[in-house]
Amino acid sequence: MEFVRNHIWQILIVLNYAIALSAVVTILHKKLNPTKALSYIIGLLALPFLGLIVYYLFGQEYRKTKIFSRKHVLNQSIVKKIQEQLELDTKEINVVDDLLDQKSKLIPLLYNSEKSKLTINNEVKLIKNGDNKFKLLFKDLKDAQHHIHLEYFVIKDDKIGTEVLNLLCEKANEGLEVRIVIDDVGSSISSKMKSKIKDSGIEMNPFMPVLFSKFTGQMNYRDHRKIIVIDGKIGYVGGINISDNYLNANNKRYWRDTHIRIIGEAVKPLQILFFTTWDFVSQEALEISKTYFPEHNCKENVPLQIAASGPDTDWSNIMEAIFVAITNAEDHVYITTPYFIPNSEIVTALQVTARSNIKVKIIVPKTSDSWIAEYATNSYLESLLEAGVEVYRYTKGFIHAKTMVVDGVFSTVGTTNMDYRSFNINFEVNALIYNKDISNQLTEFFNDDLKDCEQLDLKSWQQRSKQTKLIESVARLMAPLL
């Protein structure tokens, strides 16, 4: 016993490295992305104790293997049941083939991956910034007649969040079915508000609950989606969470974001996504009826696919769709993203496309809401500039929009950032839109945002200090963990 007391630190160090070496062997057997694997291995070996904590919080995949494999099976059975019972329509690719040319490759790619069907009968409204979103949303919530479904990464009971939650309580007291899924790390709702929500009859469940959520940071496998479905007729999806941060009326820092409101057939796959998540978080099998999937007769016919990805999907669906869209571009690619920490596939796609005399423009924030994400982003920009990619940094405030426009005929709006976490770890959802008018509107948004950007010059960018470049390199090494 005396020996143990006198050599406690030596014993702990030996124990640490015994566990760390075991973890290294596990990492090597998993055949992870080399950069990601190396990041974990360096952390485990170079940072005693801290490396193990980081690996435990971010590197373990046993939950993905066990829990999400079960969720995947449940999802497939739920989707099959809904499609069989309701006979949801399928659309042929040739409906939009003439418009899309090579872009039509995206449709079978997503259908073969996750049975993401093409919908045609849709009306789509682009929404610029949170102030406009909430004006529309409050009206739609007040007009709701049967049910309201929300699945959100961030819901806070600050000023705007309290207004939304109070309205949902009112609708529940009127007899409407109201269900909410909140991410347990991203969201923050007081006990008082939770009691009011429960007393009003709203069903609310957290996604992947964690202990001490305020201190867990970027915990793995988060529900990063922002979905609202109202009466099965109206759907919302995009980058705007429910929090005062997303409003500019009383915000010290200008927040630039993009969302869409959908009426039509594309609301059905959004509804299905919500049901699969609800089944997972509540362990309650909702009775599926046509009430949740009403027929639509829209004035417009905007072709649209809902693409979802996460640890429970066999393929990185959204990342693959972005990759195919970039590599099939013939004239231009315009990308807006708050976090640009891409995998090698997306970097190569952008470089090759730009070097093929196709105009590639990317907008990222000049000042991020995360210093390490900012430095990691900056580490990728020089290689893009060398390939001819035009890089712009947004200076008016923080740009949080997640959009892409290709050749003026294809566009996407959703929750997916251009980073490892969105591509491989978190649950995401994007709307893929095959329509010239919507693409033109998004292009106008993009060009307006360029007015508040500074364009990077390769020679000037290369003159960054050695200290800055070193910090960027360290941040980049940590990128797979961000």
Q: Which residues are catalytic?
A: 224, 226, 231, 400, 402, 407
Element (H, E) at 145: none
CA 422 – CA 403 distance, rounded (Å) = 14
| Other CB atoms within 10 A of residue 163 CB | 14
Angle, CA of 111, 350 and 312, to the nearest 5°: 35
Return d(Cα 60, Cα 103) in angstroms, integer: 37
Q: Are 434 and 303 in contact (CB under 8 A)?
A: yes
Contacts 24+ apart (CB under 8 A), 315-319: 315/113, 315/114, 316/423, 316/424, 317/110, 317/113, 317/114, 317/116, 318/414, 318/416, 318/422, 318/423, 318/428, 318/430, 319/343, 319/345, 319/346, 319/416, 319/422, 319/423, 319/424
| CB-count burial class (<10 Å; 0-12, 13-18, 19+) for 261 | buried
What stretches of 369-416 show up as alpha helix (H) in DSSP?
Answer: 371-387
DSSP conformation class of 314: S
Other CB atoms closer than 10 Å to residue 439's CB: what's the count?
21
Quote the CA–CA distance of 32 and 46 in Å, as a whole number: 20
Give me the residue label for tokens 């590599």. Answer: 327
Q: Is 50 in a helix, a strand, or coil?
A: helix
CA distance 347 to 317: 17
From residue 5, give the alpha-carbon distance in Å to each of 16, 48, 131: 17, 20, 61
| Neighbouring C-beta atoms of residue 4, cutoff 10 Å | 8
Q: What is the Rg, in whole angstroms, of the alpha carbon atoms belonging to the chain?
A: 23
* Closest to 267 measured CA to CA, from 231, 321, 309: 231
| 222 φ, ψ (degrees, to nearest 5) | -95, 150
Best CA proximity match to 86, nearest among 254, 225, 275, 247: 275
